[in-house]
Amino acid sequence: MSRKVNFSAGPSTLPKEILEQIRDEIVDFRGEGLSIIEASHRSKVYDDIHSEAISLLREIYKIPEDFEVLLLQGGASLQFAMVPMNLYRGGKVEFVDSGSWSSKAIKEAKIQNINFETIASSKETSYDRIPENIEFSDDLDYAYITSNNTIYGTEYREFPETKSPLVVDASSDILSYQVDWSRVDLLFAGAQKNAGVAGVTVVVARRELIERESSKTPIILRYKTHLDKNSLYNTPPVFAIYTLNLILNWIKSIGGVDEVHRRNQQKAKLLYDTIDSSGGFYVGHADKSSRSLMNVTFNIKNGDGSNNSELEAKFIKEATKLGMVGLKGHRSIGGLRASLYNAMDIDGVKQLTQFMDNFKSKNL
């Protein structure tokens, strides 16, 4: 079977060796005579996977001892609601609006009628950059950012410093670089871009924040409920956590998060250099100061600087014929997008950039 080069923004590509291991173990897990998706979440068979996944997250992500790791369900979208349910204490919250996902978190804050303010936004420039000079107040219940923006292709170079607890939605760049945990108090991420398949959400939070239990929050939506039960309060997403564990072992085997980051920088540089050297045929959406290593967004331009939607459609069609999929930009901004998550290898990016050079020469 010839595998496609998958540039989809999520769910995203997985390492071939991981897919092959899943294939080999899905019927008979390590000689146990049953599939991992049949095993009881109370069994030793599953408990070993569960415990190892949490341990590996701590090890390769260098998570400090005063942080706890939770494996939850509901995707990152549920965290938009769970964060205020658990952390808001009647004070004030401040957001940075850098795109669609932070906007959705703000909507959840409105629904819960919390006192909040959006202190910075790049909406006026079509979210083409991370807002500059972010200054959070010192006495907030929490401050909130989205570290990477899949739709617009922007990413924080470093997290803002704040005396207030900082919440980070890292759904699309988790495990792609080492986090400065001194600047973070709660980080969450859906797994389906860099950490496996849809179904499990990783939450890493300071223990003192998890202790902020509220009697008004439904029991299953309290972080402390899941901490007290080691993320086994209810049946966990067994297959997703199994895959997360495989991915964590894979990251460790190739040299850890630092090596992943090095590879991600190499891939992104190759693609951005191709865009920048095209003489204006390809133009990136994101300002150079905020370019994402995960999601590269760009357009094909006419001579007058307008977007050439006809050529973009042709680009997608021809790339698909050559086995490259997932290159269509998000419907909200159109254009083209190549997602370079951890499992995308450099050969896939080289194939794309060679195609881009050829496409430009044929369509100038």
- pLDDT of 40 reads 82
Among residues 97, 101, 185, 328, which one is catalytic?
101
The torsion angles phi and psi of 176, rounded to 5 degrees, stand at -95, -10
Report the distance separating Cα 45 and Cα 109, nearest Å.
Answer: 40
Burial class for 166, CB neighbours closer than 10 Å (0-12, 13-18, 19+): buried
The continuous run of DSSP H or E covering 118 comes out as: strand 116-121
Nearest to 153 by CA among 282, 283, 286: 286
Q: Which two tokens stand for residue 106?
A: 């703000």
What gap in Å lies between CA 225 and CA 218, rounded to an integer? 10
Own/partner long-range contacts of 300-303 (Cβ < 8 Å, ≥24 apart): 300/335, 300/336
Tens-level pLDDT at each residue, the chain (364 residues): 689 999 999 999 999 999 999 999 999 998 889 999 998 888 888 999 999 999 999 999 999 999 999 999 999 999 999 999 999 999 999 999 999 999 999 999 999 999 999 999 999 999 999 999 999 999 999 999 999 999 999 999 999 999 999 999 999 999 999 999 999 999 999 999 999 999 999 999 999 999 988 889 999 999 999 999 999 999 999 999 999 999 999 999 999 999 999 999 999 999 999 999 999 999 999 999 999 999 999 999 998 889 999 999 999 999 999 999 999 999 989 999 999 999 999 999 999 999 999 999 999 8
| Active-site option among 169, 224, 267, 328 | 169
Helix axis angle for 256-276 and 238-253, nearest 10°, is 80
Is 288 catalytic? The answer is no
Q: What is the pLDDT of residue 364?
A: 84
**Catalytic one of 97, 141, 185, 193:** 193
Report strand pairing: 201-206 vs 67-72: antiparallel
Active site annotation includes 250? no
DSSP 266: H
Is omega for the bond preceding 11 within 30 degrees of 0, making it cis? yes
Domain ranges of the chain: 16-253, 255-363
CATH assignment, 16-253 = 3.40.640.10
- Closest by alpha carbon to 202, among 5, 105, 95, 57? 57
Residue in the block written with tokens 């945990």: 181
pLDDT of residue 214: 86
Phi/psi at 86 (5° precision): -100, -30
Superfamily of domain 255-363: Aspartate Aminotransferase, domain 1 (3.90.1150.10)
Residue 154 · residue 337 · CB < 8 Å: no
CA distance 255 to 266: 15
Q: Taking a C-beta distance cutoff of 8 angstroms, is the pair 267, 344 a contact?
A: yes
Label residues 133-148 b or e (16+ Cβ within 10 Å = b): ebebeeebbbbbbbbb
Find all residues with CB under 8 Å of 290, minimum gap 6, and list them. Answer: 128, 129, 130, 154, 155, 156, 157
The continuous run of DSSP H or E covering 218 comes out as none
pLDDT for 1 equals 64
Is the pTM value of this prediction over 0.85? yes
